[in-house]
Structure 1
């Protein structure tokens, strides 16, 4: 079963009716998405140092649509696509998470933390992985803060930044 099937539907953020995560499809690609993802300030920490073409973005999105190992979840606010959560390299033990808010109108308003918390909740509910990892550039202070606020901890430091982790909450009895 693909991750898109496992994560199907709209997933409202806990405290905002007009905000939700939903699997991203080719039909969701808009000029705002293309322009936003190519904004130099946005792409500074996304791992590509040049503008992406519409075709490259379409190929990237389509490659995630029916994969068993990766999915793009779009962040929609008031009906507008504002960013993505990417879950990738899914195994029985773990999955990697990335976040990109390409609409700068939602920056510094707590949305990254809300998205990370919602993504974790969704992963714990729909997948059997034990750990969620995320790589964060050491220069991306805002992202590091959002991961901390969402309950992630620094698992290790690398030459370029940090690997954050969050483990599946355990349910046990207090004796």
Structure 2
């Protein structure tokens, strides 16, 4: 899709990677605007300022770490994110808060709770295993954070999920 839009505008690229395009020539304001609007039609967004790109990279590292890795990093999150992106964590943290309006820590917690919800509903792991997999120090720590974010205990969330599932099956 992105290739096609670049070709329509007569732009030549050296590399198209997830979230990054390297264009050979200098792109005019008109070409940039046209590319931006054409990508928007398909639900894609053109990020062209350094801050937005870096914040997007931070989000991607966290999402990959929490949702797509079976084992969270052995080092703390700040070191992991800093290593992955090659920037000082304080800089990344300040930038993220400035652009997103929440801290990296809150973003991580929100994603860990979303992942916990998925794992609870899959019903393949117990809470002890889920808390271990998501790097919580204990089930109590997971439960407290879960309740703070969702307003429900993990056990109650599981009951409601099972009820919804059985209601759907009875339709």
The TM-score normalised by the length of structure 2 is 0.29
Higher relative contact order (CA 8 A, sep 6+): 1
Greater percentage in strand? 1
- TM-score, normalised to structure 1, is 0.29
Greater helix percent: which structure? 2
